[in-house]
């Protein structure tokens, strides 16, 4: 088929126009749009909130429903993004003009990477809580969300780790006590295995949870050294870290860690194995408190693919003194997540209203507290246990309350000080030692080199 | 393209001759019949505007130390490329890609060929077997990944099967140790793509002249001899095409190792695709990730040129007369 053109010039004109048009379209699509549009109304409008948590969408809907009781004219759309693809999704969204108005941030790598694209929330916190706002929020939550003096997000909740969760039914059934030393841990595992029950389950394929176990071991060897290394005040090949990796290796060799742990992910693999009663212990933090309740545990067991879920009481216990030096591991924690308002949002005022309500008001924080998923950051807010139903209140009420009291004094950070490069290097060290391809000393040296290289970038 | 231009000139000639006005004839002589160009223009613009622009932009980014978002990237020239060649994870990924290609291509070819021969031999329920062999091709890796994670877990069904057939001593955490994780990824890939190999060989074998096979039989050739000396050379074109597809597939490998083992443990299933993703997205080293992408592009181009050249030489050897006439 032939299309006649009046002249070469006409053809060229059409071609050039088409090229320019397509390029303009492409550039328009790629352009970032206006950087600082109007901030919009603070009491009405539609805002889009993107996050990897709350992982239970119903939880987010409950938050929004409570919020709408006070602000009925602000519609909040929550978009749940799987944590494994969150960074890729949010990176592209923040670079464009079509991203979220509100997004989740977490201390550490995410605050470092995406914090520059968020509004400073310090003025919002000051407006809501007064000039002494810092004294009204858990300090660990503020420090984790602060980047170069800017409060990148209002901390919604905080999480703490450094303990084990046990299936108390299994311990009772085999007449065992929670381990307090490495030897006791090994003996408990032998008994469980003799009875065909899994002992301790961990998804060692993921860095975050390996870090928790390693930080706890390190605190057992020498409290505080891990944090010093995270701050750059100690080397990652310090003898304490070498000893930590040796004990980590022992967990695998002695059969405490389940077979195939290096190929397992904490979510869903390890989590499902524990919640379906196949294993007696798991390394989880305060976010696991929610599964002490009948409702959340039933939902979680059903989500793990078990019909007719039978709940069982879970209890938090201190991480064993695996180094045998008398140091029971201190807990450590960060802001679980905070809500950041995107600098490019055209609805910043409404987005700030929602973030302010959920993070700084008693009403918003009480809703957070009662879910027992993440702990409220606003001081003085506690879960309302008259509304919370434990699986076995007589067994769980005291340990859970003790745990919630204990975290109030925690000041050791969990991931806030670690860059993505260092976290990746910690995972490589943990896996190479556990897999036997490197000795603890070799792995520690490699980790130190990677940390130095990351610091120099 | 040349033919169409000639056709365009020929079709314009009678129109020019039929015009009585010299002025009108001049205008029509200037008229250009651009056959094809308007039709390929959108694709051309998209190709140049998106694909080649993006390749060029990736090349530019590869010269930066950049997190992918910051407005102030740092110019580092070729530093990223120098780092790549000293990066042990990169070399691991290259080695895994090479091993993966050799093993998956070899086994898929063998299995696909055997299945195709068997299906040509009038077996009962042949259609059912064809469907069974081909179904994995249409299943999305994202759907199958959790199944394989469960299947090859330490307490998974594969170990259960081994224990129940008296091979319990072979049971092990297949995806949880460096020595077996890569073979598992290769097994999954072979399971998934053997169906395609089978279909292509099956179609190629349908084109073989039956008289050749009958002649071989009369000459006393058995099944193996017929397969090796008649069928295998006759489907060589298909084998070359499959080699190219497998090589491209090996370079692009991402979904199965990422979804099943997250490229671990300890980078045991790291490929170039997974490493680029990990570097660019998880670690926010967009510059370094772009340099890795450029290296991947160069490797793919070299591979394409090698296959193309080898294919032309084979054709030239096969048809020397045609080469002379062209």
Mean pLDDT of chain A: 89
pLDDT in tens, A233-272: 999 999 999 999 999 999 999 999 999 999 999 988 999 9
Name the pLDDT band for B293 (thresholds 50, 70, 90). Answer: very high
Neighbour count for residue B286 (Cβ, 10 Å): 23
CA dihedral B222, B225, B229, B231 (to 10 degrees): 60
Position with higher pLDDT, A97 vs A367? A367
Count other Cβ atoms within 10 Å, centred on residue A426.
25
Quick one: tokens of A83?
């944590």
Cross-chain residue pair B49–A420, CB shorter than 8 Å: no
**B12 pLDDT exceeds 70?**
no
Residue B46 placed within a domain: no
Is the CB of residue A320 less than 8 Å from the CB of residue A182? yes
Q: Which of A91, A259, A437 sits opposite B69 (nearest CB)?
A: A91
- Residue range A411-417: average pLDDT? 89
B64 chain-A contacts, CB cut-off 8 A: none
The whole-number pLDDT of residue A13 equals: 57
Query: How many residues does this entry show for chain A?
Result: 457
Confidence band for A410, pLDDT divided at 50, 70 and 90: confident
**Token digits for B125?**
């329920």
Query: pLDDT digit string (tens) for A328-364?
Result: 778 999 888 999 999 999 999 999 999 999 999 999 9
Residues B312-321: tens digit of each pLDDT: 666 666 555 4
Q: Do A6 and B49 touch (CB under 8 A)?
A: no
For residue B102, the model assigns a pLDDT of 96
| CA–CA distances in Å: residue A387 to residues A230, A369, A383, A394 | 40, 11, 9, 16
Residue B2 predicted with pLDDT over 70: no
The Cα A202–Cα A281 span in angstroms is 9
- Output the pLDDT for position A3: 44
Distance between CA atoms of A144 and A335, rounded to whole angstroms? Answer: 6
The pLDDT confidence band at residue A275, using thresholds 50, 70 and 90, is very high
Q: Which of A281, A278, A277 is nearest to A319 (CA)?
A: A281
The pairing of strands A45-51 and A74-80 is: parallel
B178 interface with A at CB cutoff 8 Å: yes
Handedness of CA B272, B274, B280, B282 (dihedral sign): negative
Q: Does A7 touch chain B (CB under 8 A)?
A: yes
What number is the average pLDDT over the span B180-206? 96
Q: B32–A114: do the CB atoms touch at under 8 Å? A: no
Structure tokens at B27: 């205008």
User: Is residue B18 pLDDT above 50, yes or no?
Assistant: no
* Residue B307 falls inside a structural domain: yes
Secondary structure letter of residue B76 according to DSSP: -
Q: Write the CATH number for B284.
A: 1.10.3720.10
Report the percent of chain A where pLDDT is more than 70.
92
Number of inter-chain CB pairs under 8 A, A vs B: 136
Reading the block at residue B276, the tokens are 């680029």
Q: Which candidate from B67, B262, B278 shows the least CB-CB separation from A205?
A: B262
Report whether A237 contacts A444 (CB < 8 A).
yes
Query: What is the CA A164 to chain-centroid distance, rounded?
Result: 17
Question: Of B33, B45, B281, which has the smallest distance from its Cβ to A88's Cβ?
Answer: B281
Is B164 contained in some domain?
A: yes
With an 8 Å Cβ cutoff, is A116 touching chain B?
A: yes
pLDDT at res. B311: 67
Segment of A46-60, A189-203, B34-48 carrying the highest mean pLDDT: A189-203
pLDDT of amino acid A307 = 77
Backbone angles phi, psi at A38, to 5 degrees: -60, 145
Domain that holds residue B187: 89-317
Asked whether the beta carbons of B156 and B146 are under 8 A apart, the reply is no
Residues of A within 8 A of B50 (CB-CB) are 26
How far, in Å, are A44, A84, A410, B147, B250 from residue A307 at the CA level? 43, 27, 39, 19, 40
Across the interface, whether the CB atoms of A11 and B264 are under 8 A apart is answered no
Identify whether B80 is part of a domain.
Answer: no
Under 8 Å between Cβ of A113 and B69: yes
pLDDT tens-digit readout, B141-180: 999 999 999 999 998 999 999 999 999 999 999 999 999 9
A40: left (phi over 0), alpha (psi -120 to 50) or beta: left
Instruction: Say if the Cβ atoms of B34 and A259 lie within 8 Å.
Output: no
Is ipTM strictly over 0.85? no
Task: Kindly report, residue by residue over A220-234, the tens digit of the pLDDT.
Answer: 999 999 999 999 999
CB of B10 less than 8 A from some CB of A: no
pLDDT of residue B9: 43
CA-nearest residue of chain A to B76? A457
pLDDT of residue A68 exceeding 60: yes
The answer to whether residue B142 neighbours chain A at the CB level (below 8 Å) is: no
Query: Closest Cα partner for A281 from A218, A197, A219, A365?
Result: A197
> What is the Cα–Cα distance from A428 to A425, expressed in whole angstroms?
5
CB B275 within 8 A of CB B263: yes
Chain A closest CA to B176's CA: distance in Å?
4
Nearest chain B CA: its distance from A33 CA (Å): 15
Interface of A with B in 348-387 (CB under 8 A): none
Q: Give the pLDDT confidence of A151-171 residue by residue, as tens digits.
A: 999 999 999 999 999 999 999
CB contact under 8 A, B30 and A18: no
Contacts of A269 in chain B (CB under 8 A): 149, 153
Q: Identify which of B38, B181, B262 has the shortest CB distance to residue A3.
A: B38
Per-position DSSP letters for B142-195, written without gaps between them: HHHHHHHHHHTSTTSHHHHHHHHTT-GGG---GGGSHHHHHHHHHHHHHHHHHH
* Cis check: omega of the bond before A268, within 30 degrees of 0: yes
- Output the pLDDT for position B317: 63
Q: What is the per-residue pLDDT for A25?
A: 45
How do residues B216-262 score in pLDDT, each as one tens digit? 999 999 989 999 999 999 998 899 889 988 998 999 999 999 999 99
pLDDT in tens, A183-221: 999 999 999 999 999 999 999 998 889 999 999 999 999
* Contact (CB<8Å) B45/A18: yes
Q: What average pLDDT does range A110-136 have in this prediction?
A: 93
Confidence at residue A10, expressed as pLDDT on a 0 to 100 scale: 56
Cβ atoms A159, A375 nearer than 8 A = yes
Please give the Cα distance from B217 to B207 (Å, whole number): 18
Q: How many domains does the structure of chain B reveal?
A: 1
Does B114 map to a domain? yes
Q: Distance, in angstroms, between A94 CA and closest chain B CA?
A: 8
pLDDT at residue B48, as a whole number:
84
Instruction: Categorize the per-residue pLDDT at B289 as very low, low, confident or very high, splitting at 50, 70 and 90.
Output: very high
Query: Parallel, antiparallel, or unpaired for β A375-376 and A154-161?
Result: antiparallel
3-state secondary structure at position B326: coil
Average pLDDT value for chain B: 86
Tell me the mean pLDDT in the region A408-414. Answer: 86
Q: What is the mean pLDDT of residues B269-283?
A: 94
Instruction: Look at residue B122 and tell me whether its pLDDT is greater than 90.
Output: no
Q: Using H for helix, E for strand and C for coil, what is the string for chain A?
A: CCCEECCHHHHHHHHHHHHHHHHHHHHHHHCCCCCCCCCCCCCCEEEEEEECCCCCHHHHHHHHHHHHHHCCCEEEEEEECCHHHHHHHHHHHHHCCCCCCEEEECCCHHHHHHHHHECCCHHHHHHHHCCCHHHHECHHHHHHHEECCEECCEEEEEEEECEEEEEHHHHHHCCCCCCCEHHHHHHHHHHHHHCCCEEEECCECCHHHHHHHHHHHHHHHCCCHHHHHHHCCCCCCCHHHHHHHHHHHHHHHCCCECCCHHHCEHHHHHHHHHHCCCEEEEECCHHHHHHHEHHHHHHHHHHCCCCCCCCCCEEEEECCECCCCCCCCCCEEEEEEEEEEECCCCCHHHHHHHHHHHHHCHHHHHHHHHHCCCEECECCCCCCCCCCCECCHHHHHHHHHHHHHHHHHCCCECCCCCCHHHHHHHHHHHHHHHHCCCCHHHHHHHHHHHHHHHHHC
Contact at 8 Å (CB) between A274 and A167? yes
Please indicate whether, in this complex, the C-beta atoms of B11 and A18 are within 8 angstroms of each other.
no
Contact indicator for A182, A129 with CB cutoff of 8 Å: no
pLDDT at B305: 84
Considering the domain boundaries, does residue B155 fall inside one?
yes
Considering only CB atoms, A87 lies closest to which of B149, B264, B281, namely B281
- Grouping H, G, I as helix, E, B as strand and the rest as coil, residue B65 is strand
Average pLDDT over residues A306-327: 91
Cβ-Cβ contacts under 8 Å, A26 against chain B: 49-50, 53
CA-based nearest residue to A224, from A330, A134, A306: A330
Pick from A297, A321, A320: nearest CA to A309? A297
CB atoms within 10 A of CB A182: 20
What pLDDT is attached to residue B4? 41
Q: Does any domain span residue B294?
A: yes
Query: Cβ B33–A7 below 8 Å, yes or no?
Result: no
Residue B323 clears pLDDT 50, i.e. is over it:
no
Q: Which two tokens stand for residue B161?
A: 């099967």
Q: Is residue B72 part of a domain?
A: no
DSSP assigned state of B68: S
Res. A309: pLDDT tops 80? no
Predicted local distance difference test score (pLDDT) of residue B315: 62
């Amino acid at each position: 088929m032939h299309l006649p053109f009046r002249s070469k010039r006409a053809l060229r004109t059409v071609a050039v126009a088409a090229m320019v048009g397509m390029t303009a379209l492409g550039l328009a699509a790629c352009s970032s749009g206006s950087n600082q549009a109007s901030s919009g109304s603070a009491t009405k409008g539609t805002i889009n909130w993107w996050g990897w948590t709350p992982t239970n969408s119903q939880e987010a809907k409950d938050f929004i429903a409570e919020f709408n009781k006070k602000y009925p004219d602000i519609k909040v759309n929550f978009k749940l993004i799987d944590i494994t693809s969150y960074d890729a999704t949010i990176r592209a969204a923040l670079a464009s003009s079509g991203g979220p108005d509100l997004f989740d941030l977490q201390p550490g790598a995410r605050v470092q990477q995406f914090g520059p694209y968020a509004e400073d929330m310090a003025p919002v916190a000051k407006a809501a809580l007064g000039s002494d706002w810092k004294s009204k929020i858990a300090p660990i939550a503020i420090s984790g969300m602060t980047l170069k003096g800017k409060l990148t997000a209002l901390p919604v909740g905080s999480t703490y780790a450094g303990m084990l969760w046990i299936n108390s039914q299994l311990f009772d059934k085999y007449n065992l006590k929670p381990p307090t030393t490495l030897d006791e841990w090994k003996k408990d595992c032998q008994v469980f295995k003799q009875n065909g029950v899994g002992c301790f389950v961990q998804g060692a394929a993921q860095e975050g949870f390996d870090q928790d176990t390693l930080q706890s071991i390190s605190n057992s060897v020498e409290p505080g050294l891990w944090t010093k290394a995270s701050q750059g005040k100690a080397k990652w090949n310090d003898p304490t870290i070498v000893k930590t990796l040796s004990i980590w290796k022992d967990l695998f060799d002695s059969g405490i860690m389940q077979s195939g742990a290096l190929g397992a992910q904490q979510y869903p693999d390890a989590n499902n194995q524990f919640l379906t009663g196949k294993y007696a212990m798991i390394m989880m933090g305060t976010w696991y408190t929610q599964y002490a309740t009948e409702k959340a545990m039933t939902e979680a067991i059903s989500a793990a693919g078990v019909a007719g879920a039978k709940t069982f009481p879970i209890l938090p216990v201190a991480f064993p003194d695996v180094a045998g030096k008398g140091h029971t591991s201190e807990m450590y924690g960060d802001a679980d997540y905070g809500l950041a308002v995107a600098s490019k949002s055209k609805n910043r005022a409404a987005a700030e209203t929602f973030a302010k309500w959920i993070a700084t008001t008693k009403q918003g924080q009480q809703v957070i507290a009662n879910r027992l998923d993440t702990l409220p950051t606003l001081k003085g807010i506690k879960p309302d246990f008259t509304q919370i139903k434990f699986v076995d209140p007589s067994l769980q009420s005291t340990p859970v309350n003790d745990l919630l009291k204990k975290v109030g004094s925690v000041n050791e950070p969990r991931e806030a000080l670690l860059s993505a490069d260092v976290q990746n290097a910690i995972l490589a060290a943990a896996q190479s030692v556990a897999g036997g391809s490197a000795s603890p000393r070799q792995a520690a040296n490699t980790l130190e080199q990677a940390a130095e290289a990351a610091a120099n970038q | 393209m040349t033919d169409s231009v000639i056709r365009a000139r020929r079709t314009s000639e009678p129109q020019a001759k039929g015009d009585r006005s010299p002025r009108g004839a001049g205008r029509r002589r200037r008229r250009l019949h651009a056959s094809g160009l308007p039709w390929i223009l959108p694709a051309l613009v998209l190709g140049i505007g998106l694909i080649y622009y993006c390749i060029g932009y990736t090349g530019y980014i590869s010269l930066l130390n950049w997190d992918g978002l910051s407005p102030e990237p740092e110019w580092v020239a070729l530093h990223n490329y120098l780092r790549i060649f000293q990066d042990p994870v990169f070399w691991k990924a290259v080695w895994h890609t090479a091993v993966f290609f050799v093993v998956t291509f070899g086994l898929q070819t063998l299995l696909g060929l055997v299945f195709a021969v068997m299906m040509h031999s009038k077996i009962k329920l042949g259609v059912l077997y064809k469907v069974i062999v081909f179904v994995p091709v249409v299943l999305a890796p994202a759907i199958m990944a959790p199944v394989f994670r469960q299947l090859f877990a330490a307490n998974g069904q594969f170990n259960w099967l081994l224990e129940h057939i008296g091979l319990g001593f072979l049971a092990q955490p297949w995806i949880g140790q460096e020595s077996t994780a890569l073979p598992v990824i290769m097994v999954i890939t072979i399971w998934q793509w053997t169906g395609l190999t089978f279909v292509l060989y099956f179609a190629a074998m349908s084109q073989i002249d039956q008289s050749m096979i009958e002649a071989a039989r009369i000459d006393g050739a058995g099944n193996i001899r017929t397969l090796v000396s008649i069928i295998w050379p006759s489907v060589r074109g298909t084998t070359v095409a499959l080699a190219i597809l497998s090589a491209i597939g090996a370079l692009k490998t991402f979904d199965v190792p990422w979804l099943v083992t997250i490229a671990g443990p300890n980078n045991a299933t790291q490929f170039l695709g997974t490493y680029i993703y990990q570097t660019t997205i998880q670690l926010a080293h967009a510059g370094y990730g772009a340099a890795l992408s450029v290296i991947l592009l160069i490797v793919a181009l070299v591979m394409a040129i090698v296959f193309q050249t080898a294919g032309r030489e084979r054709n030239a050897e096969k048809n020397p007369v045609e080469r002379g006439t062209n």
